[in-house]
Structure 1
């Protein structure tokens, strides 16, 4: 297989990025960056208008795209086949289960062949559908289009909606009249996309992004006025904090939720009195996180206060919500992580995870009785779906596993009965019995057990010869659910094992699992992932050079670090929008995410210890003169989260430094950002590239193309 890759790579000369050394010294350590020039000095303008990108940088990115095409272009037939398969598993005219609110039930749906959602409603008791927003029509004249939020007003007359047309996550908010189908003249730009209506439906609250793309200010817009006349409601002074909005459980308040990765603080705006100043719930305390749900004059607060590492739920009076008045309702239980809580007029719902498996716990607030909803597969995903209505006994939740398509249930919390409202339809056919999902444990470098969720065909033979895709993330406390994804079947049906490594840095085994994979303990994430690869080899699921690693964003950083530290295990690495230039990014406090990221990674500007820690693992800074597996890095030009120059610099340094292996490739979407292409079918084109690369890396692309 190596000979095939070498011959294909040699057929076309790869781009050679010129070295333009830029040096700086921090904490007595001098760093030389040969490729710093790939960062456009006017990057903020590029987010708004990609056409202003420096011509030299554009030429280099396009040369990289051409090189990638020269290596993977022969898989075009395979990619088309993969897209057709994945599209065949999508019910094209799919619709959500209508969610009731007063006289109507609201839903989202797609038309046959449509790329974008439509938003609509129908009478609650049945009747004709009414579409208010047609995403395909709105996107018709746009190169990129993505909906942000969409919220109907309390009186059901208006629909506030937002969209991003650049991929840079600057959302513009508009107001549409349900009766006329026309938008008002109101236009509110440079927002994070969210909005909360006032009770009188004459204004709404939103968060505006500052010049560094940070959500720092809460404003109120009055209908019929210009954005210049909007009222500033709250401004966060700490550049390391982000601010967001949502409605409270009862709908009584707009919640201003601020925080970083360690600390949080919330304020309440009474939607019946939108002119009143926001009311602070509890003052911020470093390391203390909390989120509120309200019920009458009582708050239910999810928090890690008092060393409740896996969180607990407390109550407090609305009029005196400070920490001194918090009283435990659901105490802290080590190893039982409370992910979130939903509140209804008579019931408290919490989503918990223990032993890496989720369950829903329902508490009758009148009696204190509790019961659980759980399932018995070896690995599965479970989530609550929220409701427009507060005074209800109905809980909607979704269940799936790696073999079982998503199922949506309505559950009567009082009667303890459930009704299946929707099962994900796979038009091309899917029999869960044809597949097997299981879970094994890897033993990491320090003896810790790391769960691995596995999916393979029932005819799979565990003889050590199978190709395997190993997916990982391991940052920010995000757990990787063992949920259904129809796209994966295109690999599994070709003999792949699909594996998810539930490594430290996520919360798969509780909040402590996250703490053991951040800052000075970050390398645990990388060692866990490598341990998972070795465990799968030892368990005879696969073998060395038959594994393709896959991760995106912070998971792309994981891919870069693993390529440096354990690249010999892998046939290929796919790093989507990879956060690989960690040190330089954390040293640049003008970038959108840098100050809020310091609690996660450390602040190398102020701390020499943090500087040295990040320098020790940052993928870009640790590229070595050694052989690397084949690598595909994928970037978005207008990405404000992981800027395009990070993967561009990484690939340039890899190609200039590595002594063998490869090839290494960069594909930049010149018209999209962090989420890749917009539109549900366009996104399949990018997934097909990833899968074609994975098949190519293990020597199966040519066989499959011939078979096609």
Structure 2
């Protein structure tokens, strides 16, 4: 067996709250040091040598993914401002091609409501054939051409002017999630002369198409400036519409549904602030709607109804007001003039009341309907109500009547998609663990679901061959933790099967049911795949999240161990053939779980793992560190937080133990979780483990947080991870 690289030790002391930690591998943080690149290259060579015999398995899984995917395909066209927009993929090409074609009928465009009797045929997407251009089709952006000559390509954002003439888009060629912004004249195919470097996610045009709003990040990769570019003027004359100086706040921009207002959102996971700019008035100034001092977590949507401006407000209540606390959110209707009053004096009219068992996750509008996104029993879905009825109900102090589409499965995900404000229908997406993604148009007047597309799965896929079931584990404190258990229908409950437990459990992010072609390669090898919906996520509402953050973070890790224990005792898995996997904050989860119970796992894959969290959060100059204080606590100022984090952060808690096979997968240009964290972690794991199993580090040298760019490269990455798991569990062969 090849020798594992041994990094030199350069002791560096870190002292906080009277505690000193000596870090011998902190020198690996210096990205410009040639020794660092040489070490990572040596680690890759070692990983390649140790896993060389897995290459046939990787190739097989890659070909399975490729063989099940319709490579020449297209998205369902979405209508906007009299055009149908869609994307194509072509066999052999890595990236989508973004296209459009003129709509035959422009009714309902530019935000005007469609008539109640309007022919739905005008809103039926054109028949577009994969691989075949249609008459009048125009290419907006060919991702393959943009990527040519670059090791990486990602599209950060795109926007089209209301008249359809100009297309703004931003691209990243390194993986560090900073973008170059350009504007293309779609009438000529030529680019405008201005090029704006180092922009962040988020860009929008004003209604006239003369101003472009975009975001800029500071040196810690925190979006903090909203800038305005007037087309045709020098970039260095761009003005700052808003700047956020609080290092613990994140800033973003969006348009209201009717595109009359630019919304600037500032906040974190616990409270937020909204400012808005009336785009129809060129002399308008940015106005404060609801400030951070009110400590209300919210989203706001201004709109016009019957000649009057109102604000649709989704919020978590006013503890000092009539609503009280509403941790699972509620929806209110507010006159904009109310926001000028002291908070407790403002009149907010409830549209949707708080419910301890239902989490409201969004409130949106069309010209005719109110749309509420919600989560009930872990499952995300939507409800609809006529806007006029909702406004009348609010005025009468009653609750509007909502309709909800039905999909006929227990574990599924239903979300709303982009829709034209004046359209008589709303685009929906539906998927489950066994049902490939489906695209529907929901007819607002009748509730009818019109199936527009079901993602094809080639190779004779049959949903009936697979099973997805709900199970519950019991945590140490008696809390019931929901699990999603996936398997081939032919797998027996005889205690002999290999299994993989997957989790995340941070930032109120939920692991929602969804179909994955790549996952079939594990299920077809007999693996039982368990998604652990652990505390720290949002699956069971706001309290589920709060019980897994800050000084309750250890619940996230012990919930995952409880899920593993359930699996080991369930009869679905051989206790000696269980692996675990997670990425980013889920990588922190894997690191913490391996310290808690290394003997319970045969293998682990930690993807871009946040395993040196305390070191990172103690340095506010590092990317996103200050923003993390609302999730983990502030260990700089709070000794209790420091002590608590030190008790679980993976890097500092590695100890002599029989650690399983471990693969840490990272990217050199990742700005969210720096490569140095897994690079250091791997070194101390090797020193501590007594199992003799390999501890591997795999670094993509031309990639970011999401791994290598391009769909084929992404499939290869997934095949690598799954082959590592399947090989470790003795599950290389497909079931008969």
Indicate whether the TM-score tops 0.5.
yes
- Tell me what 1:383 maps to: 415
1:281 aligns with 2:289: yes
1:374 is aligned to 2:382 = no
**Which residue number in structure 2 is paired with residue 148 of structure 1?**
156
Note the C-alpha offset of 1:192.
1.1
Q: Unaligned stretches of 5+ in structure 2? A: 105-125, 127-134, 319-324, 390-399
Q: CA deviation at 1:24?
A: 2.3
**Higher mean C-alpha deviation, range 191-200 or range 573-582:** 191-200
Q: Which moved more, 1:524-533 or 1:98-107?
A: 98-107
1:318 aligns with 2:336: yes
Task: Choose which of 328, 333, 352 in structure 2 pairs with 1:330.
Answer: 352
Shift of 1:325: 3.2
Please give the alpha-carbon distance, in whole angstroms, between the structure 1 residues aligned to 2:583 and 2:448: 39
Shift of 1:606: 0.4
* 8 Å contact from structure 1 (residues 299, 321) kept in 2: no
1:239 aligns with 2:218: no
Q: Secondary structure at the match of 2:265?
A: strand
SS of residue in 1 equivalent to 2:140: strand
2: distance between equivalents of 1:328 and 1:23? 55
Matching residue of 1:305: 317
Q: 2:223 aligns with which of 210, 215, 220?
A: 215
Deviation larger for 177-186 or 405-414: 177-186
Mapped to 2, the partners of 1:390 and 1:79 lie a distance apart of 46
SS, match of residue 185 in structure 1 = strand
> Of residues 85, 106, 126 in structure 1, which corresponds to 2:85?
106
Shift of 1:108: 1.6
- 8 Å CA contact 1:198, 1:274 repeated in 2: no
**Offset of residue 428 of structure 1:** 2.5
Alpha carbons of 1:213 and 1:359: their partners in 2 closer, same or farther (altered >3 Å)?
A: closer
Is the partner of 2:518 in helix, strand or coil?
helix
1:64 equivalenced with 2:43 (yes/no): yes
> Does the CA contact (< 8 Å) of 2:160 and 2:166 recur in 1?
yes
Matching residue of 2:613: 582
Q: State the Cα deviation string for residues 46-103 of structure 1 (Å, max 9, x = none).
A: xxxxxxx311111111111111101111111111111111011222122111111232
1:294 to 260, 283, 302: 302
Deviates more, 1:608-617 or 1:104-113: 104-113
SS of corresponding position for 1:327: strand
Post-superposition CA distance 1:418-446 (Å, at most 9, x none) = 10001001122311111111110101111
Structure 1 contact 471–549 (Cα < 8 Å) conserved: yes
Spell out, residue by residue over 1:590-633, the C-alpha distance to the aligned partner (whole angstroms, 9 max, x if none): 01211111010011110001100100000001000111011000
> SS at 1:673's partner residue?
coil
Indicate if the aligned counterparts of 1:636 and 1:673 stay in contact, CA closer than 8 A.
yes
Of the three residues 491, 509, 526, the one matched with 2:557 is 526
Query: Residue deviations 1:104-135, cap 9 Å, x none?
Result: 11112212222111111112235532112101
Question: Superposed, which structure 2 residues align to 1:192-211 within 5 Å?
Answer: 192-211=200-219
Pair 1:354 & 2:376 matched: yes
Matched, 1:345 2:367: yes
**Does structure 2 retain, via aligned residues, the 8 Å contact 1:248–1:255?**
yes
Q: CA deviation at 1:353?
A: 1.1
**1:421 aligned partner:** 452
Aligned-pair CA distance for 1:393: 2.7
1:697 aligns with 2:728: yes
Residue matched to 1:35: 25
How many corresponding residue pairs?
683
Deviation (angstroms), 1:374: 3.4
TM-score, normalised via structure 1 length: 0.94
| 2: CA distance, partners of 1:505 / 1:105 | 40
Match in the other structure for 1:189: 197
Q: Give the Cα separation in 2 of the matches to 1:202 and 1:579.
A: 42
Match of 2:519, SS state, is helix
Given that 2:167 and 2:183 are in contact with CA atoms closer than 8 Å, whether structure 1 keeps it comes out as yes
Matched-pair contact (CA < 8 Å) for 1:439–1:452? yes
In 1, Cα distance between equivalents of 2:81 and 2:659: 59
Aligned-pair distance for 1:199?
A: 1.5
The aligned counterpart of 1:49 is: none
Q: Verify the 8 A CA contact 1:359 1:374 in the aligned structure 2.
A: no
Correspondence 1:597-612 to 2 at 5 A? 597-612=628-643
Structure 1: how far apart are the matches of 2:728 and 2:540? Answer: 32
Q: 1:688 aligns with which of 710, 719, 725?
A: 719
The Cα of 1:275 is off from its aligned counterpart by 4.9
Q: Partners in 2 of 1:310 and 1:406 — Cα distance?
A: 28
Q: C-alpha distance in 2, partners of 1:287/1:558?
A: 29
User: Aligned-pair distance for 1:286?
Assistant: 6.3
Paired with 1:283 and 1:429, the residues of 2 have a C-alpha distance of: 55
In the alignment, the residues of structure 1 paired with residue 78 and residue 414 of structure 2 have an alpha-carbon distance, to the nearest angstrom, of 19
CA positional deviation for 1:660: 2.3
Is 1:26 the equivalent of 2:5? Answer: no
- What is the rounded CA distance, in whole Å, between the counterparts of 2:414 and 2:140 in structure 1? 31
Cα distance in 1 for partners of 2:536, 2:407 equals 26
Instruction: Report the Cα distance in structure 2 between the residues aligned to 1:182 and 1:498, rounded to whole angstroms.
Output: 49
Matched residue SS, 1:305: strand
Q: Secondary structure at the match of 1:506?
A: coil
Aligned-partner Cα distance in 1 for 2:260–2:607:
41
* Displacement of 1:661: 4.3
RMSD: 1.5
CA distance in 2, matches of 1:499, 1:102: 44
For residues 666-695 of structure 1, give each alpha carbon's deviation from its aligned partner in whole angstroms, at most 9, with x where no partner exists: 001111110100011111111011011001
CA distance in 2, matches of 1:380, 1:503: 18
Deviations 1:531-579 (Å, cap 9, x if unpaired)?
Answer: 0111111111112231111100000000000010011111111000000
Q: Does the CA-based 8 Å contact 2:526-2:731 persist in structure 1?
A: no
Q: 1:472 to 1:661 in 2, by over 3 A?
A: farther
Please say if residues 197 and 271 of structure 1, whose CA atoms lie closer than 8 Å, have aligned partners that are also in contact.
no
Aligned residues of 1:261 and 1:596 also touching (Cα < 8 A): no
Q: Which runs of 5+ in 1 are unaligned?
A: 1-10, 44-52
- Bigger mean CA offset, 77-86 vs 312-321: 312-321
Shift of 1:287: 4.4
In the TM superposition, residue 378 of structure 1 has moved relative to its aligned partner by 2.6
Q: 1:305-704 alignment to 2 at 5 Å?
A: 305-306=317-318, 307-321=325-339, 323=343, 324-367=346-389, 368-387=400-419, 389-701=420-732
Q: Which runs of 4+ in 1 moved over 6 A?
A: none
